A and B are shown apart, each in its own frame.
Chain A
Amino acid sequence: MPKLIKNGEIVDNTFVWQQDVDASASDTTIVPMQKWLDNQDSIGNVAGIWIDAGEGVEPLAGLDLSQFEVIGINFPSFMDGRGFSYARLLRERLNYTGEIRALGGFMADQQGYLIRCGFNSFEFAEDVNLDIALTLNKPFNVAYQGDVADPRPIFLRRG
């Protein structure tokens, strides 16, 4: 079974990231957000949805997100930082508490920032060594800004 990093551990990836809109959905698939929105009455149970860069999280406002075990956010490339804002908005504005999974072209060296924005799982490309990637997930032990884990900026935390 393919692996991924979740909550700081290498674990089996039990879900399938479904990129093809026409593929059939099941309770182990992560389906495109728009597909789910268009077919939510008929699609049945899914593991979760994924948001593509450019879609934003606004379409999810007002929905019960607790029905999703996972919400994926796709990075078309590691230079495309829109997903950082999406994750924060999911956590801080839409109060989503389930798994937020990084998908696509993000980099292991971005994990520190991704985690601070609310991601807790990382589905890397196949050629990435997960043991090495795991060592890169916390480059800094202090931070100036508040984040998803601790909203207090440094000026509320300095002794």
Chain B
Amino acid sequence: MLDLTHLRIYITTVQSFMYQYDAIDQQLVEERVAQFRDQTRRYLNNELKEEEFLPLRLQNGLYIQRYAPMLRIAIPYGMVSSKQLRLLADITRRYDRGYGHFSTRQNLQLNWPKLEDVPDILEELATVEMHAVQTSGNCIRNTTTDQYSGVIADEVADPRPYCELIRQWSTFHPEFAFLPRKFKIAVCATESADRAAVQVHDIGLQLKKNDAGEVGFKVLVGGGLGRTPMIAETISDFIPRTDLLTYLDAIIRVYNQHGRRDNKYKARIKILVKALGIDEFRKRVDAEWEHLRGTESTVPMSEFDRLASFFTEPAYEALEDQPSVLAEKLADSNAFARWYERNTFDHKKSGYRIVTLSLKKPGQAPGDATADQMEKAANLADQYSFGELRVSHEQNLVLADVRQEQLIELWEAAKENGFATPTLGLLTDMICCPGGDYCGLANAKSIPIADQIQETFDNLDYLYDIGEVDLNISGCMNACGHHHVGNIGILGVDKKGAEFYQVSLGGASGHDASIGKILGPSFAQEEVGGVIQKVINVYVDNRTEEERFIDTFRRIGIKPFKEAAYAKAN
């Protein structure tokens, strides 16, 4: 009998449901490799000064870190094919130490490449339509979006064609490569939830339709984390999609000219928006847009059609929801049922399910994946999900199109490879930056704190009882771990040379975004797990039946938490 499993693998390797480079896209990344190879050569020959090479390498994702360079590879809006992921695995093995770190902005970071190898790494990436363009530096960064794009029922439209439009517009934008500070854009296409954290981005785009049914965006501006966390304000309720690029040009042109450049901590667009006030800022943007609107950068419908044509639906089969094999397993196996409840999500097509491969295994740094795991994830994608994966803002991998009847075998395979930690959305599904173990900016280590919390909350029954809590850890106030918008946020601080940790409560990053409130004086490293335990106890003691942690916090305020955390032992 014909082996259909293999046939399906064959089909997935020749078909694609994500953006494909044409000759122009390919030429651009190849010319970029040549340019960076020459810049690196001139730097190593002392023809480029350290301070001149700095912005050039940063625009290619290359930081010089605590122990070695860090290379941040772009995964545009989190979409990666199995073929690309296999090459990434291979690169981490040959040029690094056999693992990588998936970041909150859906990119992949290598912690140990050699500077002189970076041009070769980029050349290899270009062979699979990848690059490291603008993954750092004071320019427009990788545009991020919902990891469930295209496969959930309630999105206004698939945001990925718009992300690709923005990717192309922002790539080597001649006017905006030396902005006052970095610039991050995120796109959300659902009203029910915001998995892209649009309210804490420099520009947040909420895909919507107006009363006439036209597709466009609500545009938010001036959100951000870092030293001065702010929730974005609405600059326009509706910008038609055809006008998106001219409107973005107008916003960033105002920022480029008027954003502060005298103090890097006050240079983000949020500071300008705050200083001018949203009304004055809007007025200036509108005045600029008057000139730009309707010019050649207005996007024709044919371009939307072209971009959308890459993100077609795979050949879904007509399947029933909850096939008997799944229903039986859910009834039989508590462990499977837990994984199904936490780590899988409703798909728009009946008989399919979205599966998250967790990168939050206890003992492994959150978001880290070994080369073996990357290859295994690529294989699972080929076998179960049309050869594609997504990287989530929460630093996990996602298989978007899994047949429900195959969930049991996928779960078994995920368990074998350390992907099945059934804690998505729970306390230990932490967002965590690399911290002082790797990063030259960090005040304190973050990974040992994540380990400590994993150890403190190692009982799954208890974790499920606690329910949904976002816990985010940053090693310094640059806030790469998004601690401000964690329901529980932990920030590494330096206290006379010692590593201490400040705890904040009540942050949130969804449509009801809020900035956490600081609990009080910081704690020594070994105290953190115990403090989080006390905070959770207050929640458990005070919650009503249907309340999540954030709901209870918003109802009772910070005081009871503060009292418990700082109570003297009797």
The residues of A with any CB-CB pair to B shorter than 8 Å are 53, 56, 78-82, 84-86, 88, 93, 107, 109-110, 112-114, 116-117, 132, 139-147, 151-156, 158
Is the Cβ of A146 less than 8 Å from the Cβ of B175? no
Name the CB-closest residue of A to B179: A81
Is the Cβ of A145 less than 8 Å from the Cβ of B55? no
- Tell me, in angstroms, the Cα distance from A81 to B531 when the chains sit together: 46
Is the Cβ of A139 less than 8 Å from the Cβ of B55? no
Is the Cβ of A113 less than 8 Å from the Cβ of B52? no
Is the Cβ of A151 less than 8 Å from the Cβ of B177? no
Is the Cβ of A141 less than 8 Å from the Cβ of B175? no
Complex interface: chain A residues within 8 A of B303 (CB): 155
Complex interface: chain A residues within 8 A of B172 (CB): 113, 140, 143-145
In the complex, what's the smallest C-beta–C-beta distance from A96 to chain B, in angstroms?
15
Known A-B contacts A80-B178, A140-B28, A147-B174; A85 and B297 likewise in contact (beta carbons under 8 Å): no
Is the Cβ of A85 less than 8 Å from the Cβ of B171? no
Is the Cβ of B174 less than 8 Å from the Cβ of A152? no
Complex interface: chain A residues within 8 A of B138 (CB): 79, 81
Q: A80-B261, A142-B24, A151-B295 are in contact. List 13 more A-B contacts (CB 8 A).
A: A79-B55, A79-B178, A81-B256, A85-B256, A110-B178, A113-B177, A139-B35, A140-B32, A144-B28, A145-B297, A146-B296, A146-B297, A155-B299
- Tell me, in angstroms, the Cα distance from A93 to B250 when the chains sit together: 13
In the complex, what's the smallest C-beta–C-beta distance from A88 to chain B, in angstroms?
6
In the complex, what's the smallest C-beta–C-beta distance from A148 to chain B, in angstroms?
9
Name the CB-closest residue of B to A88: B175
- Tell me, in angstroms, the Cα distance from A56 to B257 when the chains sit together: 8
Name the CB-closest residue of A to B55: A79
Range, interface on chain B? 35 or more
Chain A interface helix/strand/loop/mixed: loop
Of the candidates B47, B174, B245, B297, which one forms a contact with A113 in the assembled complex, judged by CB atoms under 8 Å apart? B174
Complex interface: chain B residues within 8 A of A112 (CB): 174
Q: Which of B163-199 contact A (CB under 8 A)?
A: 168-169, 171-179
Of the candidates B28, B55, B176, B306, which one forms a contact with A84 in the assembled complex, judged by CB atoms under 8 Å apart? B176
B156 at the interface (CB under 8 A from A): no
Is the Cβ of A81 less than 8 Å from the Cβ of B178? yes
Is the Cβ of B174 less than 8 Å from the Cβ of A144? no
B22 at the interface (CB under 8 A from A): yes
- Tell me, in angstroms, the Cα distance from A12 to B34 when the chains sit together: 31
Name the CB-closest residue of B to A148: B174
Is the Cβ of A151 less than 8 Å from the Cβ of B175? no
- Tell me, in angstroms, the Cα distance from A143 to B171 when the chains sit together: 9
- Tell me, in angstroms, the Cα distance from A158 to B302 when the chains sit together: 11
Q: Which of B48-76 contact A (CB under 8 A)?
A: 48, 52, 55-56
In the complex, what's the smallest C-beta–C-beta distance from B118 to chain A, in angstroms?
16
Complex interface: chain A residues within 8 A of B175 (CB): 81, 84-85, 88, 113, 117
Q: What is the 8 Å Cβ interface bit string for chain B, positions 17-39, against chain A (1 contact, 0 not)?
A: 00000101001100110110001
- Tell me, in angstroms, the Cα distance from A140 to B253 when the chains sit together: 23
B277 at the interface (CB under 8 A from A): no
Is the Cβ of A153 less than 8 Å from the Cβ of B297? yes
Is the Cβ of A145 less than 8 Å from the Cβ of B173? yes
Of the candidates A84, A86, A156, which one forms a contact with B174 in the assembled complex, judged by CB atoms under 8 Å apart? A84
A-B contact pairs, 30 of them (CB 8 A): A53-B261, A78-B52, A79-B138, A79-B178, A81-B256, A84-B175, A84-B176, A85-B175, A85-B253, A85-B256, A107-B52, A110-B177, A113-B172, A117-B175, A139-B31, A139-B34, A140-B28, A140-B172, A141-B31, A143-B28, A144-B169, A151-B295, A151-B296, A151-B297, A153-B297, A154-B24, A154-B168, A155-B302, A156-B300, A158-B306
Name the CB-closest residue of B to A157: B24
